[in-house]
């Protein structure tokens, strides 16, 4: 046990309390102001003159009920959310209804999101919301759950967003409907009714009204033929499911996060982003690669041996 304590002192992982929010802004738009500076932070962790492990952010896979996760951004795209809901519902009888992305492989499984240590999701809000609407007990994952809490993790991922998607991105996605409004029964009812009136707008059902109606019937487990009553029963069940979930968005030290304030790590780049943080490539903690350092590597190691000496004496 004592040996493990010595190892932990010599090789310290990145600490969220040490993040410099001037270097890693809390808002996505601020992160994209200086593109070249963001690039330096994105790649400087392995050449900052410090301990190679001082920028490493570890992770463990999250696997658990959708209700255990919590939203970070404060808005949703309601048509997208409800289309995802229909797509997810089709898996309840995939043999007859078929499947469609993003739930072609079932309701349970990865939502291609990065999750903070306090169970806040960084992205994938619409996929998460759809699963909660269908059945909040369904297990999500495995998805990477990083060792940092939401606020500092958002800041790091905002800076990463500028470059990590294979193209320069200086803005987040535009927000639409406030989260509390998006999940209200009347909002969902209005959108589902709109799908029935204009099934071509429901890509979740492939634009097919027959599939849409059957999907909703499967969800409530009734052969309800009256469309108005069908929607009422669907919305009632969704409302009961959402009561088991946290719908209130995350609030940091600077308030709530609008969707456009949030990082955008595209699903195909999530794995690479997590690998970069695991390896310490992103320069999240001091010393920083573009500054002159008071300590070189040897002095940092010496300082930590002095800490160890104090523990041994104690």
Whole-number Å distance between alpha carbons of 183 and 176: 13
Residue-wise pLDDT tens digits, 153-162: 999 999 999 9
Residue-wise pLDDT tens digits, 1-37: 344 444 444 445 889 999 999 889 999 989 888 888 8
At 61, the pLDDT band (50, 70, 90 cuts) reads very high
Whole-number Å distance between alpha carbons of 59 and 65: 18
Mean pLDDT on 125-148: 97
CB atoms within 10 A of CB 182: 23
Which of 41-55, 192-206, 260-274 shows the lowest mean pLDDT across its residues? 41-55
Q: Which residue has the higher pLDDT, 97 or 301?
A: 97
At 80, the pLDDT band (50, 70, 90 cuts) reads very high
Mean pLDDT on 114-135: 96
3-state secondary structure the chain: CHHHHHHHHHCCCCCHHHCCCCCCCCCHHHHCCCHHHHHHHHHHHHHCCCCCCCCCCCEEEEEEEHHHCECCECEECHHHHHHHHHHHHHHHHHHHHCCCCCCCCCCCECCCCCECCCCEECCCHHHHHHHHHHCCCCEEEEEEEECCCHHHHHHHHHHHHHHHCCCCCCCCCCCCEEHHHHCCHHHHHHHHHHHHHCHHHCHHHCCCHHHHHHHHHHHHCCCCCCHHHHHHHHHHHHHHHHCCCCCCCCEECCEEECHHHCCCCCHHHHHHHHHHHHHCCCCCCCCCCCCCCCCCHHHHHHHHHHHHHHHHHC
**What is residue 2's predicted lDDT score, i.e. its pLDDT?**
43
Mean pLDDT on 239-256: 94
Mean pLDDT on 241-260: 93
Mean pLDDT on 281-299: 63
Rounded to the nearest integer, the mean pLDDT of the chain is 87
Is it true that the peptide bond before 126 is cis, omega within 30 degrees of 0? Answer: no
Residue-wise pLDDT tens digits, 144-192: 999 999 999 999 999 999 988 878 888 888 889 999 999 999 999 999 9
Helix (H) or strand (E) holding 299: helix 297-313
Let me know: does 246 contact 95? Beta carbons within 8 Å.
no
> Shortest CA distance to 82 belongs to which of 174, 216, 178, 210?
216
Let me know: does 265 contact 158? Beta carbons within 8 Å.
no
CA-to-CA separations, 284 to 72, 255, 276, 280, 295, in angstroms, rounded: 21, 22, 11, 8, 17
What share of the chain has pLDDT > 70, as a percent? 86
At 42, the pLDDT band (50, 70, 90 cuts) reads confident
pLDDT at 263 over 80: yes
Tokens of 222: 């009734």
**What is residue 274's predicted lDDT score, i.e. its pLDDT?**
95
pLDDT at 212 over 50: yes
Let me know: does 150 contact 179? Beta carbons within 8 Å.
no
pLDDT at 304 over 60: no
Local structure of 228: helix, strand or coil: helix
At 50, the pLDDT band (50, 70, 90 cuts) reads low
């Amino acid at each position: 046990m004592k040996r493990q304590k010595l190892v932990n002192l010599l090789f310290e992982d990145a600490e969220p309390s040490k993040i410099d929010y001037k270097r890693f802004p809390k808002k996505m738009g601020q992160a994209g102001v200086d593109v070249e500076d963001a690039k330096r932070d994105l790649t400087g962790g392995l050449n900052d003159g410090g301990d190679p492990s001082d920028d490493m952010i570890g992770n463990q896979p999250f696997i658990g009920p959708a209700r255990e996760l919590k939203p970070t951004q404060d808005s949703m795209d309601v048509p997208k959310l409800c289309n995802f809901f229909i797509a997810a519902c089709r898996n309840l009888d995939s043999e007859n209804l078929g499947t469609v992305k993003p739930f072609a492989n079932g309701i349970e499984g990865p939502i291609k999101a990065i999750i903070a240590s306090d169970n806040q999701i960084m992205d994938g809000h619409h996929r998460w919301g759809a699963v909660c609407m269908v059945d909040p007990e369904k297990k999500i994952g495995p998805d990477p759950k990083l060792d940092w809490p939401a606020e500092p993790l958002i800041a790091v991922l905002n800076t990463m967003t500028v470059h990590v998607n294979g193209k320069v991105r200086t803005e987040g996605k535009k927000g639409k409907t406030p989260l509390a409004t998006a999940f209200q029964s009347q909002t969902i009812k209005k959108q589902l009714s709109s799908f029935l009136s204009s099934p071509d707008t429901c890509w979740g059902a492939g634009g097919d009204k027959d599939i849409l109606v059957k999907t909703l019937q499967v969800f409530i487990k009734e052969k309800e033929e009256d469309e108005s009553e069908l929607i009422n029963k669907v919305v009632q069940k969704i409302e009961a499911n959402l009561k088991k979930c946290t719908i209130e968005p995350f609030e940091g030290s600077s308030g709530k996060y609008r969707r456009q304030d949030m990082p955008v790590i595209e699903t195909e780049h999530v794995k690479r982003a997590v690998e970069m943080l695991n390896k310490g490539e992103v320069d999240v903690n001091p010393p920083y690669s573009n500054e002159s350092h008071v300590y070189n590597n040897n002095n940092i190691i010496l300082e930590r041996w002095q800490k160890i000496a104090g523990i041994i004496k104690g």
